[in-house]
Amino acid sequence: MKNILFLFCFQFLFSQNISPQEKFTASQNYIYLAKFELYKKDYKKSSILFKKAFNFHSADDSYDLLDAAASALYNGENDLSEKYIIEAITDHKAPLEFIMGYKKFESFKNNSFFKELPNQYDAYFNGFYAKRKNLQAYLDADLLMEKDQMIRNIISDLDNNAEETKVTKKLIYNELDKVDEKNAQELIELTKKYGYQDRAWVLLWHHRDELNDEKSNFWQFFKPVINQEIKDGKLHKSFFASFEDDNYMTFHQKQKYGLFPQMYMENPIADIKNVDQLREDVGLPPLSFDIIVNGYPVSDGYKMSEADLRKELERRVSKYEMIESHGN
């Protein structure tokens, strides 16, 4: 009786004390294992793991939801699969063409849901805007994105046009600097008014070279904002990893986390021996996950078997499994 009471109290205290940030981390670790089991075609196990992941934290992107939908479909859970696909649209604006062409759905193209989806898509898509907590904030951020992309589309057209003069291109690039500077200030004001807007992520990316510049007013403002979002479980703690890797390539011609596999030849991983620990520190899966599950190229000097990958992914969720088993 005392042991049961202790376990109950331990589970209760743990569930009360787990931080929003750790819940997000737990969710992602379950998703990594779920995707591994999907790759191994253990659809029942994969579907169970996705459910556990989403109990800790809502899906972070449409890819997670569509992979969860694929697991559910193969496991005969059609209603659950439809729920995930609809959420991919209403929560993340997953495009119709993207869903219909998703490789993991190929075996289910004759499913009635997929046949009817083109006719139902607009209604689901409109649901995305209905679910925004602050539609005005989203629209304001969207407007900044349009201005950002418009100038870059012009530059892309000029770069593809050999007849354009260097003078014309220089003028447009100067205009790009002005647009980026103006957008940066407007994004700061927008964030002060409404809070962080993940819709405008790419605007942050355009300032990635300044990430570690202590004189950057832009990052002096946004780093504390983003760190608070991470602490509150609204952003995953790997948020800055791609920024850091890009900086590392720019200034050291190497990568810290290996997030740009297409650049391994020119920018190899700096510390291949400890890369998995560095990745775990920011909530990323082992490098072997990207190699085995996602089909990324192998980095020189790195090796981890499928069996060892499974053990590592299971280790990461083991404490949450222990809590669940104590509660049953």
In the chain, what is the straight-line distance between the N-terminal and C-terminal CA atoms, in Å? 15
Nearest to 30 by CA among 8, 55, 12, 7: 55
CATH architecture of 2-133+319-327: Alpha Horseshoe (1.25)
Q: Give the per-residue pLDDT at 321.
A: 83
What pLDDT does 317 receive? 97
Q: Is 84 within 8 Å of 68 (Cβ atoms)?
A: yes
- pLDDT for 326 equals 47
Nearest Cα to Cα of residue 317 among 63, 34, 58: 34
Q: Which amino acid does the sequence have at 212?
A: N
87 CB-near residues (< 8 Å, 6+ apart): 59, 65
Both tokens assigned to 273: 């021996």
Quick one: CA dihedral 265, 271, 272, 277, positive or negative?
negative
By CB atoms closer than 10 A (0-12, 13-18, 19+), residue 94 is: buried
- DSSP symbol at 299: P
Who's near 62: CB < 8 A, 6+ residues apart? 88, 89, 91, 92, 93, 94, 98
| pLDDT (tens digit per residue) in 69-80 | 999 999 999 999
**Residues recorded for the chain:** 328
Diameter over CA atoms, the chain: 84
Task: Please give the backbone phi and psi of residue 162, each rounded to the nearest 5 degrees, phi first.
Answer: -65, -20
Q: pLDDT band at 10, cuts 50/70/90?
A: very low
Residue 239 is classified by DSSP as: T
Q: Which two tokens stand for residue 217?
A: 């007013």
pLDDT tens figures, 40-70: 999 999 999 999 999 999 999 999 999 999 9
pLDDT grade for 167, boundaries at 50, 70 and 90: low
Mean pLDDT confidence for 126-141 = 95
CA angle 103/74/86 to nearest 5° reads: 65
Question: Using the 8-state DSSP alphabet, how is residue 210 labeled?
Answer: G
Beta bridge partners, 269, equal 255
Q: Which residues contact 140 (CB under 8 A, 6 or more apart)?
A: 190, 194, 197
- CB-count burial class (<10 Å; 0-12, 13-18, 19+) for 49: buried
What's this model's pTM, rounded to 2 decimal places? 0.89
Q: What's the token pair of residue 249?
A: 């390539």
**pLDDT tier, 324 (very low <50, low <70, confident <90, very high otherwise):** low
Question: Hey, what amino acid is at 283?
Answer: G
Q: Which two tokens stand for residue 106?
A: 């190929």
What pLDDT digit, counting tens, does each position of 254-267 carry? 999 999 999 999 99
11-33: pLDDT as tens digits: 444 545 789 999 999 999 999 99
